[in-house]
Amino acid sequence: MGCKVYAMLGGRSDQDVVVLLALLPDERCSRLIAAMRTVQARPEDPVERLEVVLRPLRPGGLGWLVECNAVLYHREYGWEHTYKALVARIVAGFAADHDPGREAAWIAGLEGEPVGCVFCVRRDETTGQRLLVGPSARGMSIRGRLVDECLRFVAGAGCREIVLWANDRLTVARRICRRAGFTLESGEPHHGFGRDLVGRYWRRVR
């Protein structure tokens, strides 16, 4: 008797969930399912087992990028609004006028949610400049994939070298640069984003 009642209640519960999901817009439904998958994942499961997809920018991606970068770097490093203004200028310039043959951007999606991005813009005819990696992809595997995709694009575009500018506080960026074959070229102190920082230039020659 107890098993029959349990099965009956379980069936009704499933029906209720189906009805609730049907009432949600497609985007919210997809986000809910992705969140449930994340909850079901075991804590020891590596990030690599989850589906990470790199894709070009889509409508809404630029706004997400600016906002998430501003929130993340304020929370982790205390950077003020001028950092958000810098990111917004980079993004706006890319959106308004870029050369698809020499400049590109990608967003990494994890289970349907954006978790990181990379921008590659032209510095001159032979040099690419990687401007932005982030904001919230944790673990070097996702960030590394973004960097590798950028390097492949630079090679295909015919650039002989690529330059990255990053502040000294970004320790993960330093590790990724070294892993990808970048060499620290120079550094200079500056006051930016409400903090005293040291900007460093990294270069990779093909």
For residues 149 and 118, the answer to whether their CB atoms sit within 8 Å is yes
Q: Check whether 8 has a pLDDT greater than 70.
A: no
Q: Name the pLDDT band for 189 (thresholds 50, 70, 90).
A: very high
Q: Check whether 138 has a pLDDT greater than 50.
A: yes
For residues 37 and 100, the answer to whether their CB atoms sit within 8 Å is no
Query: How many residues are listed for the chain in this entry?
Result: 206
The letter for the amino acid at 191 is H
Cα three-residue angle 140-120-149, rounded to 5 degrees: 45
Average of pLDDT values for 38-55?
Answer: 61
Contacting residues for 170 by C-beta, under 8 A, at least 6 apart:
none
Cβ count within 10 A of residue 2:
6
* Structural domain spans, the chain: 1-40, 46-205
Assigned CATH for 46-205: 3.40.630.30
**For 148-180, how does the pLDDT look when each residue is reduced to its tens digit (9 = 90+)?**
888 888 888 888 888 888 888 888 778 888 888
Q: Check whether 140 has a pLDDT greater than 80.
A: no
**For 95-128, how does the pLDDT look when each residue is reduced to its tens digit (9 = 90+)?**
888 888 888 888 888 777 788 888 888 776 666 5
